[in-house]
């Protein structure tokens, strides 16, 4: 391909995209101007619905049938992709421009081996035979840091971990030395430590090949670490673009400043360390273990031995009144399992002391316990009944635990408490935004005036700015009511801001419980240190 050093590999000029909907055209992208040079990483940052993924589909020419393009050009080394036929694009995709997707567990075909899926790109674009492609695939897998490439080729997707799968996806994106690669949130679905490794791999491969990269993310801190330039997108338009330094030190637009401010900064603590540890804590978790797996009927009959999966392994934990205890750990570490055990959703062995009462199993959790211990889940979409109005949803805990008199007024007050207008009571969940729905879930949890609220990843489905406001709300409620929180998250930066103490979990075990401001202390456990190192530093480094 003939392009000089200065000419951008990918240039988007005055590009607009509309979706035709029943309510008239929806302007998904508005006169976008972007350019990526060889060897450059352009970070595209925006919240959900901002159009960042639409832009990726436009570049790949993979648009739904209701997409209309009123104008503009997308140039790949001078070739306007808008003028290419589908057949021509098929030869471009994977060879000249390729893509790495968000979730490796859904972007790989579950019924084809990893090797088949990798080598088909080589067969298609490099004209290799299957045997050659398989050999080349092994070399590629070795190149992306997989220890046993030959075996990995034969594995099915479900036999590989998320990180390994993402390495395979990356290998197939780099397989034909494309001119440009689009990375669509490639680490969002991965653990902290794995995503750090994937990111390092990306930076290494990118430097080695000099491929022009468009790195799409909602995470400013992450982009700050990888990209050379950043473009901020909002409601389909580029708000601001410039070098990472410029954007972080001297953001020109109010929206950019908001975004930067919303990124959690562990150095900026939002709570005072004023919790007194007493001899009588609110909750004392004693040797709580959770095992999964039930003996199948026949195994029970024949007395066959069965391996149980350990969800939690003899956890000991204390939560004081009015304390915010953070629980961190990668997925599968048993964070949510513990939360479910404490709310009676999982069977457990061991004991839980709550407010001086002994709880040995979920049958000991009576109405009084449930009133005092409430849980908020990650996805408000899943935890709010779509067929009930907000007023019905909020009236349940009032009828169950409180006094059911003057429900309308109480519900209105609850909504106001979580900064929602009283009129929302007549709406259905789907009429609210993600942040609003989570506020309703918070209001529901607080309706019974609980002593402990378990927050299970409640902000991870939300945008950064929405997350910031939800966290602010939670802290206000905590100040007003003195409720203790068990705050489960994988966002270390966030939890360092808001927790008094942090419990670190790994594969069902509790590694340690430390004070939040001492978690980066060098004499922490190995795993804690690795976690802290893996987390992208916040934007603060540029300020």
Smallest distance from another protein to CB 115, Å: 13
Binding span for another protein by CB under 8 A among 69-77, 87-95, 259-267, 340-348: 87-95
Question: Is 88 an interacting residue with respect to another protein (CB under 8 A)?
Answer: no
Rounded Cα distance, 426 and 444, in Å: 15
Instruction: Name the burial class of residue 87, with classes exposed (0-12), middle (13-18) and buried (19+) by CB atoms within 10 angstroms of its CB.
Output: exposed
Which range, of 117-125, 132-140, 324-332, 533-541, touches another protein by CB under 8 A?
Answer: 117-125
Among 120, 258, 364, 517, which residue interacts with another protein (rule: CB under 8 A)? 120
Smallest distance, another protein to C-beta of residue 182, A: 9
Q: Sort 404 into a burial class: Cβ within 10 Å, 0-12 / 13-18 / 19+.
A: exposed
Strands 212-217 and 41-45, bridge-based pairing: parallel
Based on CB atoms, which residue is closest to another protein, 103 or 512?
103
Contact status: 152 vs another protein (CB under 8 A): no
Q: Is 172 in the site for another protein (CB under 8 A)?
A: yes
**Residue 202 in contact with another protein, rule: CB under 8 A:** no
Q: Is 212 in the site for another protein (CB under 8 A)?
A: no
Question: Is residue 53 close enough to count as binding another protein by CB under 8 A?
Answer: no
Which two structure tokens, joined as six digits, stand for 17? 């995209």
Min separation Cβ 394 and another protein, Å: 35
Q: Among candidates 353, 400, 393, which has minimal Cα distance to 376?
A: 393
Among 37, 52, 125, 437, binds another protein (CB under 8 A): 125
How far apart are alpha carbons 196 and 190 in whole angstroms?
A: 9
- Is beta strand 24-36 parallel, antiparallel or unpaired with respect to 10-21? antiparallel
Distance CA 463, CA 48 (A): 7
Q: Counting contacts by CB under 8 A, is residue 245 touching another protein? A: no
Q: Tell me the C-alpha distance between 136 and 384, whole Å.
A: 49
What are the C-alpha distances in Å from 463 to residues 47, 71, 227, 243, 271?
6, 30, 20, 23, 22
Stretch 273-312: interaction string toward another protein, x if CB under 8 A: -----------------------x-xx-------------
How far is the C-alpha of 282 from the C-alpha of 261, rounded, in Å? Answer: 34
Task: Specify the stretch interacting with another protein by CB under 8 A; choose among 6-14, 46-54, 85-93, 502-510.
Answer: 85-93
Query: Residue 94 interacts with another protein (CB under 8 A)?
Result: yes
Least Å from the CB of residue 74 to another protein: 15
Q: Is residue 156 involved in binding another protein (CB under 8 A)?
A: yes
With contact defined as beta carbons under 8 Å apart, do 227 and 499 qualify? Answer: no
Size of the site for another protein (CB under 8 A): 31
By DSSP bridging, strand 79-80 and strand 67-76 are antiparallel
Contact 489, 190 (CB under 8 A): no
Please identify, using beta-carbon distances, which residue of 59 and 455 lies nearer to another protein: 59
Instruction: Give the dihedral sign, CA 46/48/54/57.
Output: positive
538 binds another protein (CB under 8 A): no
Q: Which is nearer to another protein, 99 or 468 (CB)?
A: 99
Contact code string over 95-114 relative to another protein, x by CB under 8 A: x--xx-x-x--xxxxxxx--
Return the residue of 92, 348, 446, 487 that touches another protein, per CB under 8 A: 92
Q: Which stretch binds another protein (CB under 8 A): 10-18, 115-123, 357-365, 489-497?
A: 115-123
* Euclidean distance between CA atoms 112 and 168, whole angstroms: 13
166 part of the interface to another protein, by CB under 8 A: no
391 closest CA partner among 348, 423, 432, 357: 423
φ/ψ (deg, to 5) at 169? -60, -45
Segment contacting another protein by CB under 8 A, of 66-74, 89-97, 211-219, 500-508: 89-97
Shortest distance in whole angstroms from residue 160 CB to another protein = 12
Q: How far is the CB of 114 from another protein (least distance, A)?
A: 12
- Any contact of residue 160 with another protein (CB under 8 A)? no
* Segments in 348-426 forming alpha helices (H): 367-372, 380-383, 390-401, 407-417
The only residue of 48, 66, 80, 91 in contact with another protein, by rule CB under 8 A = 91
Pick the binder of another protein from 74, 121, 373, 494 (CB under 8 A).
Answer: 121
| Alpha helical stretches, state H, 402-525 | 407-417, 434-446, 464-481, 492-498
3-class SS at 307?
coil
Between helices 130-143 and 162-174, what is the axis angle to 10°? Answer: 120
**Rule CB under 8 A: is residue 93 a binding residue for another protein?**
yes
Which parts of this chain interact with another protein (CB under 8 A)? 60, 62, 90-95, 98-99, 101, 103, 106-112, 117, 120-121, 124-125, 156, 158, 169, 172, 296, 298-299
């Amino acid at each position: 391909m003939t392009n000089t050093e200065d000419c951008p590999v990918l240039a988007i000029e005055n590009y607009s995209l509309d979706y035709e909907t029943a309510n008239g055209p929806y302007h998904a992208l508005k006169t976008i101007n972007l350019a990526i040079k060889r060897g450059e990483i352009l970070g595209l940052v925006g919240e959900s619905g901002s159009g960042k993924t639409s832009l990726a589909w436009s570049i790949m020419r993979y648009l739904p049938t209701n997409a209309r393009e009123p104008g503009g050009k997308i140039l790949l080394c001078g070739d306007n992709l808008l003028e290419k036929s589908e057949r021509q694009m098929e030869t471009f995709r994977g060879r000249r421009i390729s893509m790495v997707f968000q979730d490796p567990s859904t972007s790989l075909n579950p019924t084809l081996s990893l090797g088949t899926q990798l080598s088909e790109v080589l067969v298609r674009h490099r004209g290799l035979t299957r045997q050659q492609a398989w050999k080349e695939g092994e070399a590629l897998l070795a190149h992306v840091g997989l220890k046993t490439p030959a075996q990995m080729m034969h594995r099915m997707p479900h036999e590989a971990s998320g990180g390994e799968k993402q390495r395979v996806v990356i290998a197939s994106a780099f397989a034909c030395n494309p001119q440009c690669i689009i990375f669509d949130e490639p680490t969002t679905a991965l653990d902290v430590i794995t995503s750090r490794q994937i990111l390092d791999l990306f930076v290494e491969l990118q430097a080695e090949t000099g491929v022009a990269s468009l790195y799409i993310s909602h995470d400013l801190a992450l982009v700050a670490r990888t990209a050379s330039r950043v473009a901020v997108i909002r409601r389909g338009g580029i708000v601001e673009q410039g070098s990472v330094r410029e954007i972080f030190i001297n953001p020109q637009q109010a929206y950019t400043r908001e975004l930067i401010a919303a990124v959690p900064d562990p150095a900026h603590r939002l709570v005072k360390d004023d919790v007194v540890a007493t001899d009588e804590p609110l909750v004392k978790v004693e040797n709580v273990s959770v095992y999964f797996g039930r003996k199948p009927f026949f195994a029970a009959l024949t007395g066959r031995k069965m391996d149980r999966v350990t969800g939690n392994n003899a956890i000991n934990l204390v939560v004081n009144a009015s304390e915010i205890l953070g629980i961190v750990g990668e997925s599968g570490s048993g964070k949510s399992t513990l939360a479910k055990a404490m709310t009676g959703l999982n069977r457990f062995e061991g004991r839980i002391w709550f407010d001086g009462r002994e709880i040995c199993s979920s049958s000991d959790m009576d109405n009084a316990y449930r009133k005092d211990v409430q849980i908020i889940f990650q996805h408000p979409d899943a935890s709010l009944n779509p067929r009930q109005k907000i007023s019905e949803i909020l009236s349940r805990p009032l009828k169950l635990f409180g006094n059911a008199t003057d429900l309308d007024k109480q519900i209105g007050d609850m909504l106001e408490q979580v900064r929602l207008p009283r009129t929302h009571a007549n709406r259905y969940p789907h009429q609210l935004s993600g942040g609003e729905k989570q506020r309703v879930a918070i209001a529901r949890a607080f309706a019974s005036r609980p002593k402990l609220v378990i927050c299970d990843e409640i902000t991870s489905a939300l945008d950064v700015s929405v997350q910031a406001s939800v966290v602010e709300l939670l802290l206000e409620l905590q100040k007003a009511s003195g409720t203790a929180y068990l705050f489960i998250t994988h966002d270390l930066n966030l939890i360092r801001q808001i927790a008094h103490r942090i419990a670190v979990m790994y594969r069902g075990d509790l590694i340690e419980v430390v004070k939040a401001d001492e978690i980066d202390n060098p004499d922490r456990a190995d795993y804690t240190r690795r976690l802290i190192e893996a987390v992208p530093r916040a934007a603060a480094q540029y300020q």
